[in-house]
Amino acid sequence: MKLLVLAGTEDGRELADALMRRGHDILVSTVTSYGADLAQEQGLQVRSGAMDAQALIDLVEGGGFAAIVDATHPYAVRVKEIAKKVCEERAIPYMCWQRSSLELEENPLIHWAENIPNAAVRAAKLGHRILLTTGSNALPEWVSQSALQDKRLYVRVLPTSEVLARCELLGFKPNQIIAAQGPFSQEWDEAMFKQLRIDVVVTKESGKVGGTLEKVQACHRLNIPLVILKRPVTEAQESSLAQFIKHLEEIQ
């Protein structure tokens, strides 16, 4: 079966690799060239670059895919909406792979937030030196939050020239930018939080492979509050890799 797999994350590449090993013809689509490089290193066929609806339609129509497998990040809401709509319009199956979420015990240091404005207000009440580990795409929204205007913000982002330029345009100084590629260990997180004297950490619930657990453990160890953005609500059901592949292959 010829499949277009939308994936730029570790577990997305794992899924694409598993499908390829089962004999399926796989094309992996990533937003970044870095994600494409990682997929190519695994022997996967890749195209890279952001796509709007028309670009995805052109790719689907020219590729003869039997289905689109959406293995994008849980917070990539716009991409998921575009992929689902294109599949509906072209009458091809849309299969969404949902990475496993974390089951965190209640703890007074953990503060859940529905969205960025809510997270900003919560973080502002908890401390002055705030570390954002939520990626670079939403930074314009973060810096526009009135609750954070008098706070000292730090960001941890991918070390690419494009991302660094985005941070600088938003007013972040070099000593506010931690440019590094994860995943990060608990020990690495602890050392960085202590070095920067962080009062509050903000993150996403990125699941078992997204580094969230290590941040939780580091914050618990250092007694630092952690604000976690909840995942967007989707129709995707969590399942094991084997269960998802079995269900996908049944659509033939």
A 10 A CB-CB count for 102 gives 13
% of the chain exceeding 70 in pLDDT? 95
**238 pLDDT more than 70:** no
- Predicted confidence at residue 25, as pLDDT, reads 95
Encode pLDDT of 67-120 as tens digits. Answer: 999 988 877 888 999 999 999 999 999 998 876 777 788 899 999 999 999 999
Provide the Cα torsion 166, 172, 177, 181; round to 10°: -10
User: Could you tell me which residues come within 8 angstroms of residue 187 by beta carbon, excluding any fewer than 6 positions away?
Assistant: none
For 110-229, CATH gives: 3.40.50.620
Average pLDDT of the chain is 90
For 2-99+235-249, CATH gives: 3.40.50.2000
**183 pLDDT more than 90:** no
Residue 141: strand pairing partners: none
Q: Is 211 left (phi over 0), alpha (psi -120 to 50) or beta?
A: left
Paired tokens of 170: 């938003």
- Predicted confidence at residue 235, as pLDDT, reads 60
A 10 A CB-CB count for 182 gives 15
Q: CATH topology of 2-99+235-249 equal to that of 110-229?
A: yes
Nearest-angstrom CA–CA distance, 248 and 4: 12
Mean pLDDT of 198-212: 85
- Predicted confidence at residue 237, as pLDDT, reads 60
Domain extents in the chain: 2-99+235-249, 110-229
- Predicted confidence at residue 24, as pLDDT, reads 95
